[in-house]
Amino acid sequence: MGLTKSERRNRIRRRIRKVSFGTPQRPRLSVFRSNKEIYAQVIDDTTGKTLAAASSRDKDLQVKGTKSEVAAAVGKQLAERAMKAGVEAVSFDRGGYLYHGRVKSLADGAREGGLKF
């Protein structure tokens, strides 16, 4: 019997986290995707602090449309907040999800907002 979807994702996630580590100069952009919403945060792993965060549940995010369009808007909003916090470059942590669909849209939105990957 094979792995469940969540077990497979967690295995991939741990593999990614071995390599991806957020420093103060280049923090980690972490993505979490639920069935309805998408969340992203910029994390400095040396201190364990979240420098900026954005999600599709934020009240000031007034975007209607497909989940991918909402994810792109979340990426742009996260980029704005990260720039305010003094972050220009990030290390992308896709959280075990395929770089496709909503995760890719969020990354593209963040790039559009000015973050360098």
Q: How many structural domains are present in the chain?
A: 1
Kindly report the pTM of this predicted structure.
0.93
Owning domain of residue 68? 5-112
Question: Residue 50, CB half-sphere, CA atoms under 13 Å: how many?
Answer: 10
91-108 pLDDT, tens per residue?
999 999 999 999 999 999
Domain at 12, CATH number: 3.30.420.100
CA angle (99 as vertex; 36, 104 as ends), nearest 5: 65
Residue 117 lies in a domain: no
Average pLDDT, the chain: 95
